[in-house]
Each structure stands twice: as C-alpha cells, then as structure tokens.
Structure 1
Amino acid sequence: MLAKYQVATIEGDGIGPEVCQAAVLVLKEALGEGIVSFDDFPGGATHYVKSGQVLPPDTFEACKNAHAMLHGAAGLPNVTYPDGTEVGNDLHLQLRFKLDLYANVRPIRLYQADFSPLKNRRAGDIDYVIVRENTEGLYASRGAGVLLRGEVATDTLVLTRKGCERIARFAFDLSRKRNGAPSDHKRRITVCDKANILRSYAFFRSVCDDVAKDYPDVSIDYSYVDAMTVHLVKRPEFYDVIVAENLFGDIISDLGAATVGGMGIAPSGELGDHHGLFQGAHGSAPDIAGQNIASPLATILSGSFMLQWLGDRHADPRLTEASQRVDRAVELTLAQGKTIPRDLGGLASCTEMTQAICRNLK
C-alpha cells in the first residue's frame, strides 16, 4: 500500500546517520503502516568529498516534492570551501533559501528539573518557542560580503517589510495555538531586537507593532538582545513566543537550549508556506560518531514536531496523535530515570534511548 505522505530523509554527517535512523524507528513505531514513507537521499560534507556536491540535484528534487524533510546533521570541520566556511552547512542553507524556509522554530522545554543548570526549577517551568527569521538579517550576507585586500571585511544586515511582517504573523499565529507562558498562562509575543541602537532593528520592531494590531488577544512585549540573555536565565517562565532577526535568534536559541539540558534535547523546524525541514539543533559531533553514544532525543523530538506540522497542514488527526504519543513517550522515558543519555548525565546509548522510547510508545 502506497503511503499517503512522503518524507525525504538526509542522514548527513558525523552522528547524523545514527540519530536520523533512531528517529525514523520511533516515528514508524508511533505511526504504524501505510501513513508515512521515509526515503533516504544523499547529501552533506561526506557526500561532497565523494562527489563534489553537498546537495545533489536529485536530492533537492526529492526534498522539493516531499511532504516534509527530516535531517540528521551536516558538516565536518575539515571539509571546507576555499573561503574557509564549512561545506556541510551549505546543505540546509541551500534548502532554506531555495524553498524559502523563512521561519526557524526552536521549542525550548524543560523536561526534568535536574537537566537544567538553573536553580529551583521544576519540569514545565521553562516552555517557550523562539521564532527566528531565517532568510534575511545579517546572515543574508553569507557569500556576498566584502573582503578587501585582506584588510577590510563587511557584511550587511538586510531586513524587508515582507520578511519582518511574515515572521511576525507566524509568531502571533503560533502563540494563538499555545497555552501561554508558564508563569501566568498569557499568550505573549516578545520582540527581541536592538532597536535602541540600530535603525534596522527599530524597523523590525515597528513592523511587529503593526502586525500586533491584528492580534488583540496576544500581548506584545519587548527585550533588547543583551537583556534577553539575562532574562532567559533569570525568568524564563515569563516567555511564550520570542521573535527575532536571524543572528539574534540563532544566538538566544543556543542559550535557551542550555537552560533545559543542552543542544542534545533541542528540536528545530525550518518552515515555509509549502515546505518544512526538521532536524535537531545540535551539530554533527564527528568526535563521537559511530560509537553509539550520541543522544537521538533532539532528532526524535524534531520528528515529532514534523508530524505535528504535517497533521496541522493536512488536517490529519493520525499524524497529530502520533506526534503527541512520541512526546509523551519521550517525557515518560526521561521521567522514569532509568534511560538517560550521556549529555543529560546518564549512560544510555543511542540504541538504548531509542528502544526505551519505543517501549513506552507501546
């Protein structure tokens, strides 16, 4: 029987194959037969070494035509372009720009109190989402900046009204689907910028203000990015959805992940109007590749996020229910305390984590 939805998987580099295969096993267990097919395609730094292509045309076509994309990890430090930038990063950057994946969504959730380096926190105290504009900002200069005579280097921060408006609307729409901030259960958008110093960020804030007029049920809040690094440590329970320019969103996402246990438990999705790419927020960790000690949690949670997105997009409750089951199985596995990955203080292997989650799915 032909599956209704096709997911293109790119296992990638380093620990990418291990964590991607683990996520697929969990998702198949949650879904059963005949709903989603997972088809693997080559790409990444390892494939570049073999073929000279980081994103082969056939892989791109498969991704463009699939219902969603699931990625392991990409990049190897010693595989670089002549300008010194890593080849592997170009995989998701090409997909990002070619498919206009303008919203980078990073859920930040504390599953167990002892995973956090913050004092006096309980499970659920931290539960917010960072929405990062993904196609503009300072990163729009990648490959287009100026290096003059080895003496002067410039990159340009680019923001458009269209880009700011659509990411703001995405953030407000997302808040409407959530239950508000843990501290007061209020739906709230926090605009993270540097509007007091740079005109570009003042423009970003002004567009967010314009969009907010269409969402009277969602309050709007503001934080300069330097203050945000303090607030995410001192009062993370205040936040519901945070919206930010590309660079700032990238930085605070890693800080947020650190407060709940690290990059190994941080899922992400890069979303556009028609396509979605899902992967753990961590890197390829080549130093531990092939040792079966990497945590698959971020990729499994990214896969669950993918099912939720597909379920919403296609109004298919089977996908939504499977996503909820995966989330509950992960939460139960961690709460039981017997199977914990190394990055969260345990000893469980990638295989053991995957098997424990599959058991709890049943």
Structure 2
Amino acid sequence: MTTYRIGVLYGDGIGPEITRATLEVLKAAVEQTGGADFDYVELPMGWEGIEKYNNPIPQVTIDALQETHGWIMGPHDSASYPKVHQANRNPSGELRHCFDLFANVRPAKTIKGIKSVVGEADLVIYRENTEGFYSDRNMHVGTGEWQITPDIVVSTGVFTRKAAERIAHAAFQMAMQRRKKITIVHKANVIKLGMGLFLNVCRQIGEQYPEVQVDDFHIDAMTAHLVRRAHFFDVIVTENMFGDILSDLAGELVGSLGLAPSINTNENQAMAQAAHGSAPDIAGKNIANPIGMMLSTVMFLEWLASRHGDGNLIQVARMMEHGIFTTVAEGVKTRDLGGSASTTAFTAAVAAHIAR
C-alpha cells in the first residue's frame, strides 16, 4: 500500500475550521475503507506563517511541499496582511506560480437538497492558471504592470502556445471521460492576437480528439448562456481571468459559492482549495460551511487515483462524497444553506454516515 504524503495548510479566517472538518471526514472514510494510507504534514501559511517566519508563505513550507504528493489548502485573508506582504503574491498565487499549477479545475453541479437557480446542471471549468491578465503571475520575474505616470498604468495580458496547449489537453481529456463536449470561452473578437491565439490553439488541440464536439462563445455571451441554460454545458476551457469569473458565477447558480470545490494541478502534484474566501467575519463562530473544502479534497483524491492508478483512493473519495450528499439530502445543512447545523455538527453527521 502506498503512503501518500499530504501537506495541510490551515490558512486564515474560517480556514482552520473547515480544514479540520475536512480532515475528520477524510480520516473517517480512510478508516472505513482501510485501503489508503496518508502521512499528513502540517505547514504554516497565512497569518501563522507571518507570526512564525514573517512570511505568509515561508520557504520552509514551499520546501516541504516539494516532498509531498499534494496538499490541502485552507483559504487565506491576504487583504488583512501587513502592507509589506500585500505587495507580494498572495499565498495561493505564490504556490500556483512556484509549482506551475497550470490547471485550475472547478466543477459546478447541482446537489440534491440544495436549491439551484438554474435547475439541473453538471459542468466543469478548466481555467488556465499561469498567465492571461493576472499580472502578479504572468511574468517569470516581477509583475506585468507598470505605472508610467501617477495617472497612467499599463497592464499586460500574456498568452502563449505552451500554456494554451496544456490546458486544452487537460480539458479535452476530461471531456473524453464525460459527455464529450467542449466550450472554449474567449474575447478574440476584440483581443484578436492574444485571445485569438488561445482560441486557435484550443481548436487545433481539439483536432486530436475527434470524438469531442467543440464550440466557442465570447465571454459576455457566455455569462448569459450560463444563466439561461447551464445544463447545456459540459467542459468549459478558458483563460485565467475569465475562468475565475465564470467559476464563481457557476458556483452561485447551482447553489452557493460555499459549495464550490476546486483543485490546482501540474503533471505531478495537486492542491485542493475551495473556491470561496476566508470569511473572517464568521471565523471562530462554528457556523462555516465546510462542503467546498470537503469536495475539493474529493477531487484531490480522484486526481491522485488517476495519477497513481490507485483504486483504493477512489473508494475513499466515493465514501466522502456519499457521506456529504446524504447528509445534505436529509436536511442537515449550515446556516448559509438555510439550515441550522454548526460546522462541527454537520461534520459529525457526515462522519456518522460514513461509519454506517
């Protein structure tokens, strides 16, 4: 049996609460299935890193993560950090940049017991994670913004064939496992060279997957299409900023951003990270919704299983997922979803379902 070395970064705000809840459910599923072994490595990030090392993502954490199969990362509250740290990439952006986590994968699926704005939907967004208009991570050194005068700022968007090719391959490979349909989202009618390159490369990669149906939409039209007919879409592939916006929209449309999971991957490692923020206003109140973090960890296990050919990890993932969905379907929900359960009560209910 392989022992998987997993980093655990608790983060800020509600991060420690929802990460501990996720670990409780994960350990319950591992105990029930008996088919997987994990070595958890707790590492400082966020305010913990600042207090211990004067750095929200200290080098000791980065070095330790190099030796892991991946990690579970709670949200960070970078807006509250001292100004000297706000000037740098936030912890999530730094890890995506440092480890070249080029694919940000964010599903949006309706869940029984959760009211959806758009009815039934089951889609997944593949967001290119390293360049585009995100100027804090689209340069090898420095950032892609320059203040020419106090009144003039130039911000760059970077688009490369390499980045478009690898996110396209990842998206098409997922489409082959699903309904064999890809939608490319862009703005090539205005940003003709940069997004034109992204669109054309994605279409070229699509020729290698003849079974997959391909269409494309401009970003402004796509937001309307998601609201009107989210059920129509299967796999969406897009650049960094558009992927960020569309995934938040899709998460809310199917129920709540608090439910929205994601993973960030390269070829060898993955980071489980819920799509929502640190919600400092409710931190420590035991009312945070841990589902997004839990489902992100399910995705992480699925990725590990695929990467290492380990069916035991799939069993653990299915056990966690079943426990979460059964608990919600029975009406046990946190306050943001219209229920009354605390974070710990919801977690205990999920763990109890797994134990049964």
TM-score, normalisation: structure 1: 0.92
For residue 67 of structure 1, what is the aligned residue in structure 2? Answer: 69
Further displaced range: 15-24 or 136-145: 136-145
For residue 353 of structure 1, what is the aligned residue in structure 2? Answer: 346
Contact 1:102 1:167 in 2 (8 A): yes
1:198-222 deviation per Cα after TM superposition (whole angstroms, max 9, x unaligned): 1211111100111011001111011
Contact 2:105 2:264 in 1 (8 A): yes
Shift of 1:140: 3.9
Q: Which residue identity does 2:263 align to in structure 1?
A: G
Contact 1:192 1:243 in 2 (8 A): yes
Q: 1:175 to 1:96 in 2, by over 3 A?
A: same
Whether 2:7 is the aligned partner of 1:14: answer no
Q: 1:104 to 1:177 in 2, by over 3 A?
A: same
1:279 and 1:167 mapped to 2: Cα distance?
19
For residue 199 of structure 2, what is the aligned residue in structure 1? Answer: 205
Of residues 186, 189, 192, the one that matches 2:182 is 189
Contact 2:56 2:85 in 1 (8 A): no
Gaps of 5+ in 2: 138-142
Structure 1 residues 110-121: aligned runs within 5 Å = 110-112=110-112, 114-118=114-118, 121=119
TM-score, normalisation: structure 2: 0.93
Structure 1 residues 26-105: aligned runs within 5 Å = 26-32=25-31, 35-82=37-84, 90-105=90-105
Q: Which residue identity does 1:65 align to in structure 2?
A: E
Shift of 1:80: 4.4
Shift of 1:317: 0.7
For residue 220 of structure 1, what is the aligned residue in structure 2? Answer: 214
1:277 and 1:262 mapped to 2: Cα distance?
21
Whether 2:301 is the aligned partner of 1:276: answer no
Shift of 1:318: 0.7
Three-state SS of the structure 1 residue aligned to 2:57 is: coil
1:158-199 deviation per Cα after TM superposition (whole angstroms, max 9, x unaligned): 010000011001100011122x2xxxxxx1010000111112
Q: Which residue identity does 2:76 align to in structure 1?
A: A
1:258 and 1:293 mapped to 2: Cα distance?
19
1:123-166 deviation per Cα after TM superposition (whole angstroms, max 9, x unaligned): xx211000000001011455331113321111100010000011
Of residues 232, 237, 241, the one that matches 1:238 is 232
Whether 2:328 is the aligned partner of 1:329: answer no
1:49-87 deviation per Cα after TM superposition (whole angstroms, max 9, x unaligned): 5531111122111111101110111124321435955x6
Whether 2:165 is the aligned partner of 1:165: answer yes
For residue 140 of structure 2, what is the aligned residue in structure 1? Answer: none
Whether 2:147 is the aligned partner of 1:147: answer yes
1:113 and 1:293 mapped to 2: Cα distance?
19
1:46 and 1:345 mapped to 2: Cα distance?
32
Of residues 106, 110, 126, the one that matches 1:131 is 126
Three-state SS of the structure 2 residue aligned to 1:9 is: strand
Three-state SS of the structure 2 residue aligned to 1:146 is: strand
Three-state SS of the structure 1 residue aligned to 2:281 is: helix
Contact 1:129 1:242 in 2 (8 A): yes
2:338 and 2:153 mapped to 1: Cα distance?
42
2:114 and 2:11 mapped to 1: Cα distance?
31
For residue 306 of structure 1, what is the aligned residue in structure 2? Answer: 300
2:306 and 2:15 mapped to 1: Cα distance?
27
Q: Which residue identity does 1:226 align to in structure 2?
A: D
Gaps of 5+ in 1: 181-186
Q: Which residue identity does 1:358 align to in structure 2?
A: A
Further displaced range: 239-248 or 196-205: 196-205
Q: Which residue identity does 1:189 align to in structure 2?
A: I
1:173 and 1:114 mapped to 2: Cα distance?
29
Three-state SS of the structure 2 residue aligned to 1:197 is: coil
For residue 291 of structure 1, what is the aligned residue in structure 2? Answer: 285
Shift of 1:258: 0.6
Three-state SS of the structure 2 residue aligned to 1:280 is: coil
Shift of 1:95: 1.1
Contact 1:3 1:37 in 2 (8 A): no
Three-state SS of the structure 2 residue aligned to 1:248 is: helix
Q: Which residue identity does 2:122 align to in structure 1?
A: D
- Of all paired residues, the percent bearing the same amino acid is 38
Contact 1:141 1:157 in 2 (8 A): no
Q: 1:141 to 1:7 in 2, by over 3 A?
A: closer
Q: Which residue identity does 1:350 align to in structure 2?
A: T
2:25 and 2:292 mapped to 1: Cα distance?
12
2:262 and 2:315 mapped to 1: Cα distance?
19
Q: 1:3 to 1:165 in 2, by over 3 A?
A: closer
